Amino acid sequence: MKIFITVFFSFFILGIAFLPTSTSSKKVKPTEKVSEILYKLGDEEPNHFLRYPSKKSIELGRQLFHEGFATKESGKKVKRLSKHFVCTSCHNVEKEFNDLSQNDAQVRLDYATQNQMPFLQGSPMYGAINRTSFYNGDYYKKYGDLVNVARNNLREAIQLCAIECAQGRKLKNWEIEALLSYLWTLGLEIEDLQLDGSDLQLIDQALVDKNKSAEAISLIKSKYMDHSPATFTTPPSSFAEGYGLQGVPENGKNIYELGCLHCHKDGRYSFVNLDNSKYSFKYLDNHVDSYSHSSIYQVARYGTPTHPGKKAYMPQYTLEKMTDQQMEDLRAYIKQEAKK
Ligand code: HEC
Ligand code: HEC
């Protein structure tokens, strides 16, 4: 009898400990879209708001984004968006951080390494519809007035990127809507925000009590970045000396394999072929110190020149996408492999 009571009470206590009410929400599902909850809480909709994008449009957008062209229902293929790139050349469609409120380049690289995903110059399209401004920071230096229309307008941001970043043609209206529809499927979900029990409780309360909605909205918005900051930077003043930081080759290996090889392996998006052969590392090593247009400092910090609509080019890495330390890590890896 004593044993029975002990067992009974142990289960009872365990039961209380695992009662779901403290850590989960009654009203919000983990997979629910953040945009939908914000909308329910009375937050203002962005001008790119699409409540119910059609399945057809989403599918066309997916094809345009990943394949660079689309096949309409009639079987008619639309002309390629770009001869050189697809959107995934430079943008992932997965999230790139566990904690979406931060933006550290090394945390981003660690996440990419852990999940074996590309480490690219462009921000991920996962969560793009949750952002309120685009081509932030220094991008106006590169694209000038074009940024003015794109900064607060996701449709214009897509158009700008298709022409300027992807060196492609002007998009038709339905193509912009299709791409936007696809991006709406990549909106942040509640579980991405890593909310704790009391956060969820507040949201639950705010959904029935308007007095709490402002607090709940700002709580939700504090859990992710609503824009991608962008800081342009320069190569070191002496290429031979570099940034004066000790490089870590193991880290450089991840940059090389997940970053550089994404575009350069088998000449995927570039005529410049790079791989894991000694030849590749020697080529990079031979140019790194000289003030050559092929030095990694030059290409990573300035990119390669663009010729509108005519050529592939390499986009630069902002500080948010590659730190000076990471540049030195890459260099250390190249040096190490070239010597082998
Ligand atoms: C050659 C590289 C490249 C290609 C190809 C490319 N992009 Fe971009 N894109 C960039 C870079 C670099 C930025 C600068 C801002 C950022 O992403 O952080 C950008 C910005 C954007 C933004 C604004 C993101 C933000 O938060 O500021 C959108 C939207 C976008 N691109 C959509 C697309 C779409 C759609 C395609 C395909 C039609 C595409 N891009 C193809 C490199 C590229
Ligand atoms: C988004 C795709 C992309 C990524 C990522 C990328 N490159 Fe490039 N790179 C290019 C393109 C495109 C060119 C231009 C040459 C061409 O037309 O094929 C280029 C050119 C170069 C050149 C030759 C420049 C010259 O003028 O001689 C070097 C060297 C180079 N890249 C190194 C790198 C290294 C190192 C990395 C990783 C840090 C890297 N690239 C990442 C696309 C990319």
pLDDT, tens digit, for every residue of 225-253? 999 999 999 999 999 999 999 999 999 99
| Residue 293 token pair | 């247009």
pLDDT at 5: 54
Question: Domain check: are 36 and 155 in the same one?
Answer: yes
Q: Which of 230, 264, 295 is the last residue of a domain?
A: 230
Residues of the chain with pLDDT under 70: 1-23, 308-310
Question: Domain check: are 214 and 255 in the same one?
Answer: no
**Within a domain: 237:** no
Q: Give the largest Cα separation in the chain, rounded.
A: 85
Ligand 1 atom closest to the Cα of residue 135 is 27
pLDDT at 26: 86
Distance between CA atoms of residues 337 and 340, nearest Å: 5
Residues flanking ligand 2, CB < 6 Å: 89-90, 120-121, 255, 259-260, 262-264, 269-272, 293-294, 296, 299-300, 304, 311-315, 330
pLDDT at 308: 64
The CB of 120 under 6 Å from ligand 1? The reply is no
Question: Domain check: are 193 and 333 in the same one?
Answer: no
Is the CB of residue 113 less than 8 Å from the CB of residue 258? yes
Ligand 2 atom closest to the Cα of residue 294 is 27
Q: Which residue has the tokens 């730190």?
A: 323
Is the CB of residue 239 less than 8 Å from the CB of residue 291? yes
The CB of 228 under 6 Å from ligand 1? The reply is yes
pLDDT at 23: 67
Q: Which of 198, 230, 262 is the last residue of a domain?
A: 230
Question: Domain check: are 48 and 107 in the same one?
Answer: yes
Distance of CA 37 to the CA centre of its chain: 22
The domain total for the chain is 2
| Residue 106 token pair | 């090394």
**Within a domain: 241:** no
Question: Domain check: are 62 and 153 in the same one?
Answer: yes
Q: How far is the CA of 64 from the centre of ligand 1 (A)?
A: 14
Question: Domain check: are 190 and 284 in the same one?
Answer: no
The CB of 90 under 6 Å from ligand 1? The reply is yes
Q: Supply the pTM of this predicted model.
A: 0.93
Question: Domain check: are 70 and 152 in the same one?
Answer: yes
Q: How far is the CA of 25 from the centre of ligand 1 (A)?
A: 35
Q: How far is the CA of 301 from the centre of ligand 2 (A)?
A: 11
Is the CB of residue 60 less than 8 Å from the CB of residue 76? no
Q: Which residue has the tokens 């969560």?
A: 127
Residue 141 burial (CB count, 10 A): 10
pLDDT at 310: 67
Residue having the nearest C-alpha atom to atom 9 of ligand 2: 314
Q: How far is the CA of 177 from the centre of ligand 2 (A)?
A: 31
**Within a domain: 286:** yes
The CB of 230 under 6 Å from ligand 1? The reply is yes
Q: Which of 203, 230, 257 is the last residue of a domain?
A: 230
Q: How far is the CA of 122 from the centre of ligand 1 (A)?
A: 5
Q: How far is the CA of 26 from the centre of ligand 2 (A)?
A: 50
pLDDT at 309: 58
Residue having the nearest C-alpha atom to atom 5 of ligand 1: 166
pLDDT at 94: 98
Question: Domain check: are 54 and 157 in the same one?
Answer: yes
Give the residue among 8, 21, 20, 78 at the shortest CA–CA distance from 201: 21
**Within a domain: 315:** yes
Residue type, 339: K
| Residue 28 token pair | 């919000």
Give residue 35's domain range: 27-230
Give the residue among 202, 191, 186, 187 at the shortest CA–CA distance from 29: 191
Question: Domain check: are 211 and 280 in the same one?
Answer: no
Radius of gyration of the chain (CA): 24
The CB of 89 under 6 Å from ligand 1? The reply is yes
Q: Which ligand is nearest to the CA of 305?
A: 2
Q: How far is the CA of 250 from the centre of ligand 2 (A)?
A: 21
Distance between CA atoms of residues 15 and 297, nearest Å: 59
Residues whose CB falls within 8 Å of the CB of residue 47, separated by 6 or more in sequence, listed in order: 152, 153, 154
Question: Domain check: are 37 and 171 in the same one?
Answer: yes
Distance between CA atoms of residues 236 and 223, nearest Å: 35
**Within a domain: 258:** yes
**Within a domain: 58:** yes
The CB of 122 under 6 Å from ligand 1? The reply is yes
Distance between CA atoms of residues 228 and 214, nearest Å: 24
Residue having the nearest C-alpha atom to atom 4 of ligand 1: 166
pLDDT in tens, 262-306: 999 999 999 999 999 999 999 999 999 988 999 999 999 999 987
Question: Domain check: are 130 and 46 in the same one?
Answer: yes
Which CATH number covers residue 292?
1.10.760
**Within a domain: 11:** no
The CB of 313 under 6 Å from ligand 1? The reply is no
Ligand 2 atom closest to the Cα of residue 334 is 35
Residues whose CB falls within 8 Å of the CB of residue 86, separated by 6 or more in sequence, listed in order: 65, 66, 67, 68, 166
Question: Domain check: are 196 and 296 in the same one?
Answer: no
Ligand 1 atom closest to the Cα of residue 179 is 35
Q: How far is the CA of 217 from the centre of ligand 2 (A)?
A: 42
Residue having the nearest C-alpha atom to atom 14 of ligand 2: 313
